[in-house]
Amino acid sequence: MKLFYVILGCIGLGLGAVGAAVPLLPAFPFLMLAAFCFARSSRRLNDWFLSTRLYKNNLESFVRGRGMTRAAKLRIMGIVTLTMAFGFAMMGRVPAGRAVLAVVWVCHILYFIFGIRTIAPEETAVSLDAARTKEDEAA
């Protein structure tokens, strides 16, 4: 009989995690779409974001299809790891949630290591300067 209650408890925790995640699933793509549209709605806002140090240091070379520097990859992986570690710590009573979070974290790390090309900082500076020169000539 105790086994029945353990199984029922695990199912209940799993259903609770699903119940917490399912309402967010439809909202997330619309949130991303709204952020994209908002950023594109104002040329001034878009230009401001593209000129920020955050964008230039972390995303510009990736968006242009060249890859990321090792430092940028480590910064992003570190921030995501800290954020996910906080969620992992808060899910002490939800082992299914912890398992899902651990799988997502491992996939994130593997993607950054093997899926995104690592480039040298010098390569980034030279290639981005050339790309900016081409854009200035086209404008």
Of 42-46, 99-103, 125-129, 134-138, which range is least confident? 125-129
User: Residues 121-127: contacts with CB within 8 Å, 24+ apart?
Assistant: 121/69, 121/71, 123/66, 124/61, 124/66, 124/69, 127/61, 127/64, 127/66
Show Cβ contacts of residue 64 under 8 Å, excluding neighbours closer than 6 positions.
Answer: 127, 128, 131
Token duo for residue 97? 């949630």
Q: Is there a contact between 40 and 34 (Cβ–Cβ < 8 Å)?
A: no
Does the pTM surpass 0.85? The reply is: no
The pLDDT, as a whole number, for residue 33 is: 77
Residue range 45-85, pLDDT digits in tens: 888 878 888 888 878 888 888 888 888 889 888 988 998 88
The pLDDT, as a whole number, for residue 110 is: 93
Residue range 80-109, pLDDT digits in tens: 899 888 888 888 888 888 898 899 999 999
Distance from C-alpha of 25 to C-alpha of 9, rounded to nearest angstrom: 25
